[in-house]
């Protein structure tokens, strides 16, 4: 039953982000796809992260995070941050980035947008930790086609795709 439910949950299409933070001036980051908006007043998001990830405890320590929303042009960057652990290497070595007002790393390439966030709470959610964060600032990147994740694969979502509402289909 577990593998069936995993396959069903994998049908949820999600955006791809690189979650970043800094502790004592050292940058840390990881790729995530379990991110969602949870409030518009104040502007808040939730990010679900496994305690097995090295960045997990760095987020608790720093109390802030950057959300780099990845574009299709950032596929290799997302793969880099998603396949290596920051425990043994500096994932930011050779990477072009700057720092936000909250000192979170902002990726200079491959991003659709960036959100600077204060972590307001975190709670146990099954085998993951759910970080609740208030978005205090945001920036747009240079790219427009988002990188999405579906059934354990990356896809490009192009702006010029035709979308129809259910009312248009039934008419």
**Residue 51 CA: distances (Å) to CA of 67, 127, 132, 166:** 18, 8, 15, 40
Q: How far apart are CA 136 and CA 104, in angstroms?
A: 12
In a domain, 155, yes or no: yes
- Least confident interval from 28-32, 102-106, 114-118, 161-165: 161-165
Asked if residue 152 lies in contact with residue 10, where contact means CB atoms within 8 angstroms, the answer is yes
Question: Pick the residue with more confidence: 82 or 66?
Answer: 66
Residue 136 has pLDDT above 90, yes or no: yes
Residue 169 has pLDDT above 50, yes or no: no
Domain CATH code at residue 116? 2.30.110.10
In a domain, 6, yes or no: no
Q: Report pLDDT for 165.
A: 47
Length of the chain: 171
In a domain, 9, yes or no: no
| pTM given for the model | 0.88
Residue 168 has pLDDT above 70, yes or no: no
In a domain, 27, yes or no: yes
In a domain, 158, yes or no: yes
In a domain, 30, yes or no: yes
The structural domain count of the chain equals: 1
- Structural domain that includes position 41: 15-170
Residue 167 has pLDDT above 60, yes or no: no
Cis peptide before 27, with omega less than 30 degrees from 0? Answer: no
């Amino acid at each position: 039953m577990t593998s069936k439910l995993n396959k069903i949950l994998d049908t949820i299409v999600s955006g791809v982000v690189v979650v970043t933070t800094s502790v004592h001036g050292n940058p840390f980051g990881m790729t995530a796809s379990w991110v969602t908006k949870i409030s518009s007043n104040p502007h808040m998001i939730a990010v679900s992260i496994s305690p097995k990830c090295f960045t997990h405890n760095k987020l608790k320590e720093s109390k802030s995070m950057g959300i780099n929303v990845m574009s299709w042009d950032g596929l290799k960057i997302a793969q880099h941050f998603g396949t290596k652990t920051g425990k043994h290497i500096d994932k930011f070595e050779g990477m072009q980035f700057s720092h936000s007002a909250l000192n979170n790393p902002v990726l200079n390439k491959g991003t659709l947008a960036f959100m600077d966030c204060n972590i307001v709470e975190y709670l146990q959610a099954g085998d993951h930790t759910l970080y609740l964060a208030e978005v205090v600032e945001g920036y747009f990147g240079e790219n427009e086609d988002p990188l999405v994740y579906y059934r354990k694969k990356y896809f490009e979502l192009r702006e010029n795709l035709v979308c129809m509402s259910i009312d248009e289909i039934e008419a």
